[in-house]
A and B are shown apart, each in its own frame.
Chain A
């Protein structure tokens, strides 16, 4: 097998063409599982934010295929499924069983991601496994949404170590009762679990149909070939990257317990078609919740690499075996039991940036400036005064995307590991006792540049006729999204209580507090970093932004050196040219103090 040659057939009945057909069919199956899960789930996380993934593993526990709308799930199941199966003992699995697990320290990422693993029995033997993981809105623990400034995993919610939750195709009634008693979103979680069970049943049925049609041997040969094929394509792409050792870093503001920033250091080693991300120089693990499990770190380190590979590359063991991640035990990128991990995604987002910074040196044309680089969670719960029922809600807000070397960053969008939709305001207000007071772009929040960063957004919440318990778990309030190649940094995030009234308070990026009906909670998300000298920005692009009130007149003049006549909406070319000449050098980067 070589990069341009054909793949040798492992099996006489499997030629190139049949292989291509079978792999298409297998991918259709996992996508069908994901569609079924999303459309019948209850909680917003799954149904509209699609925070879940569906996978198919072979009998050895190697991932064959995966469907997910969230890159955060890239490494979530690939390690946990084989580990959990080994511990549970596959000999203990009967047809129709399902093992439930959420224990981050058993290879998963955080307790909210509840994973269900089901064996696929075929003629009395286990052919493989289907597994799905779904982010439940609440899993118990200290605060609504199960996000809080915890100091060990026991404070983060109910820990499910891998137990038989589904028996003979039916959910165990006692287990379900015990589970729902421990979580705040009882109805949502019960509905989500039913959807997870249905999704696995469907996946297993489809694989059995495939086996009926082609036989075990041919399908196994196709799986083997799929892994080789993927590896071959990955190898081919890596061989086109420049060889060398490239370094990058990124910082988390603080750890939720102390003000001490957390440093992530990435060393990307590209050598002869091999790729290693070494995170060994990152900080030691913290007492607070800003720690990653290895699975979480793997997803984060793998994302930038996946993004630099062709979009049609299938995701399976053939990819995973090619992407090596080194993260020593006891660091924030691979914490030990029983560390708190619920803020680990913030470390993960910075890991993405650290790796991208390294790649920016290797492939400067293909990597954007820094993005909002925080998951930016807000969760709240309380008693709904309309129904007297307890409710819990959690969402994440978008921010500015980093400027690209050929074009602007996108305004108000989800970057990197996450791609969760916003909750429609009307749906949110119908379902929960909250009112969104404003939802808008933040002008002048972009990192200026020849290509500018995306704008951050502002979403203000008011709680109706009750007091809600609110947690913000976010970041980028101290370390802004950095610009590249002379581009400026984006505006930092602000998390404020009563932004323009009395009782103003900067609640910071990580806190739990109560807010009443007269309070307003204002989430102001970061702008993306810029790329290139702002004074080289096309004056008409500045004009467009000023006309759209994305950039102020003053900023156009001061930062971009562009003078605009707001009467005629035209660029004063003479003044602009004079200004750009006299103030040729860029002003110092507005990097935040460390």
Chain B
């Protein structure tokens, strides 16, 4: 009996589903509208549709893997569960004061993000632990009991507990947890020492609160999906994508919803990383451009890089401050580092009061949409520029589903930009694309150069509806030598779900100079983490042979407050290992910041472990080999504008689905998918790879001719 794996990726506009035959690597996809009132409706609809279309019986589906915005939406829309917060006496206002900063420097009308728990549901209890972990004031258990009874009266659903220095001495939090369970057993409960035992109280408290306020919602969501799935005859359980990459079962997600806050965006980077690994490129930059935003991520040695100081919800709370410090709620569970900018197909081009041509951040979105959609939009967008330049075929947009009007695009650019600039429409359109590209280059630079990685040593994987159209212009600037455009770039993210391992991450703060470490303690922590990971993975039906435990230390110079994460040996750690670990840290510091101080003392701040449960990866289907010339796939030719040629040139247009492995395409050229268009600039060439991926490199294309 064939085995299938099903991936469901819920995005803002569409819910994408991929069903893959694990034996042959063939897959089928479907797209349905996302149902914001109840996301499970769209999920089930998409799932049913693809299974019916593929004539697969539910029993044949071995795994169902899910990426969802349910947690993010709840935070952004402030529709989280009514919850209470318990903390150390004197520190009730951790959630109100936050970082005491304003996210935008020069805005006199700014706001801080409102606390997820109102002040009247924040309670103090008497207890205090020192920085060294000693009890300065014992926990007043009677007080805790009274507080919990009061909370029960307030009809809350969840409780978050965060005491000072509980990352080192969790006893008071644990005891409080016991009292909560005794007094108010129905309440969902999150202890900071369990969800995120890292120092820096506001960040830990925020993570704890995010988890608590999501627990009731995610539990209901997961339970409903699981019930509906089994009612439809599916035997497999549900796996959920975590924000840091890696899957967890629905059961685990109920306890750790904070881990799935950025579930959706993570999938794209995971897809790029898996594809890279499959093709032999462990170092990859992912570039995902859609209708409203473009996202860049970086994968080093097969592992997506994680964000430092991530904040959730900032875009919604203060759009002007998006991504700025203090604009959202800090979340310390692992989140893949994604740099997102407001440049997508719908981004609007305009002239500012200084006379400069600008693109975004305003977007025409899907409604009214770009001018060429003829759906009420009159302002010029990136998509309009692409239509004017001949890069998009107005009659074959989304496989012909939407007819575009080139005249309307020209008119919008003429009236709103070209006339003021005193330039012709095509030159202006090319300028719009070039400026949009400059924004995207900026995003790619932040995720690579600003973090100390040289983009020239990476392969760029471009996907999303608009990624393949802009990628060539972008890599030219960044001198990235190779670009991969996967088959079906519009559903790459959903495909990424099918290529992900199970993973659980553990962390605890232990601040100590490297030369004074208590190695017995360190090894004990790693053994504990390994045992916890093993037990969870076993529950998730992972065999011992498929388990992988990777240890890390967050290290810094004594006195610094930013750490770098350094991998450490998997065996028991001995004194001599610490010298090598410190040397790795100096090297990493040099790489990231351009300098290091090998004579300065070094200290450990956190011990971390990732427990991975490897799941078999689907094999992608090999594309049939073909001639070196792609003539069989030639659809037509059309006039396309390139800034290199400063005008329109005749350009071959190929049908992606008729290309064969080994085909070599000369530039300039266009390759049309159903859901994306790849533009190949003069000076570049494309070879069609094993899985139908396009491999774009600099060159004339002449060398591959016989």
Contacts and interface: CB of A to CB of B under 8 A. Distances in A.
Contacts of A419: 101-102, 105
B561 A441 contact: no
Contacts of B511: 430
A412 B100 contact: yes
Contacts of A414: 100-102
A507 B677 CA distance: 70
A6 B93 contact: no
B614 to A, nearest CB: 34
A548 interface: yes
A175 B574 CA distance: 40
B492 to A, nearest CB: 27
B594 A441 contact: no
Interface string B91-125: 11110110111101111111110000011100000
B146 to A, nearest CB: 17
Nearest to A305: B106
Contact of A397 (B100, B199, B589, B592): B100
A421 B101 contact: yes
Contact of B97 (A15, A43, A398): A398
Interface in A227-254: 229-230, 232-233, 236-237
Nearest to A435: B130
A87 B74 CA distance: 59
Contacts of B280: none
Interface string B149-181: 000000000000000110100000000000000
B600 A48 contact: no
A58 B99 CA distance: 36
B561 A48 contact: yes
B30 interface: no
A27 to B, nearest CB: 8
Contacts of A191: 557, 559-560, 597, 600
Contacts of A572: none
A467 B502 CA distance: 53
Contacts of B351: 4, 6
Contact of A426 (B165, B355, B593): B165
A549 interface: yes
A547 to B, nearest CB: 5
Interface of chain B: mostly helix, strand, loop or mixed: loop
Interface in A21-65: 21, 24-25, 28, 31-32, 35-36, 39-44, 47-48
Given A42-B557, A232-B353, A549-B120, A413 B201 contact: no
A411 B110 CA distance: 12
B450 interface: yes
A90 interface: no
Contacts of B621: none
B136 to A, nearest CB: 8
B593 A306 contact: no
A441 B119 CA distance: 11
A469 interface: no
Interface in B427-467: 430-431, 434-435, 438-439, 441-442, 445-446, 449-450
Interface in A425-475: 425-427, 429-431, 435-441, 457, 460
B560 A47 contact: yes
B107 to A, nearest CB: 6
Given A419-B105, A426-B165, A7 B91 contact: no
A1 interface: yes
A77 interface: no
B107 A311 contact: yes
B182 interface: no
A202 B332 CA distance: 30
B559 A426 contact: no
B270 to A, nearest CB: 26
B355 A4 contact: yes
A407 B131 CA distance: 40
A424 B120 contact: no
Contact of A28 (B435, B442, B589): B442
Contacts of B423: 15-16
Interface in B188-218: 199-203
B562 A39 contact: yes
B422 A406 contact: no
A413 B431 CA distance: 42
Interface string B52-95: 00000000000000000000000000000000000001111110
Interface residues of A, number: 90
Contacts of A41: 560
B185 interface: no
A47 B561 contact: yes
Contact of B438 (A25, A31, A412, A415): A25
A307 interface: yes
A424 B203 contact: yes
B97 A229 contact: no
Interface in A567-584: none
A500 to B, nearest CB: 13
A415 B423 CA distance: 44
Nearest to A225: B356
B100 A16 contact: no
B99 A4 contact: no
Contacts of A457: 93, 97, 100
Contacts of B557: 42, 191
A236 B351 CA distance: 14
Interface in B531-577: 557-562
Contact of A6 (B112, B202, B355, B560): B355
A191 B561 CA distance: 12
B111 A410 contact: yes
A420 interface: yes
A441 to B, nearest CB: 5
A20 B435 CA distance: 7
Contacts of B200: 424, 426-427
Contacts of B355: 1-7, 16, 229, 232
A21 B423 CA distance: 17
A267 to B, nearest CB: 21
A42 B560 contact: yes
Interface in A396-413: 397-398, 401, 404, 406-407, 410-413
B108 A413 contact: no
A201 interface: yes
Contacts of A21: 434-435, 438
B92 A398 contact: no
Contacts of A401: 102
A459 to B, nearest CB: 9
17 contacts: A3-B355, A36-B450, A187-B558, A198-B593, A309-B106, A311-B106, A410-B110, A410-B111, A412-B93, A412-B96, A414-B100, A422-B97, A422-B100, A425-B164, A438-B89, A440-B93, A440-B97
Among all A-B residue pairs, the 3 with the closest Cβ atoms: A438-B90, A17-B431, A398-B100
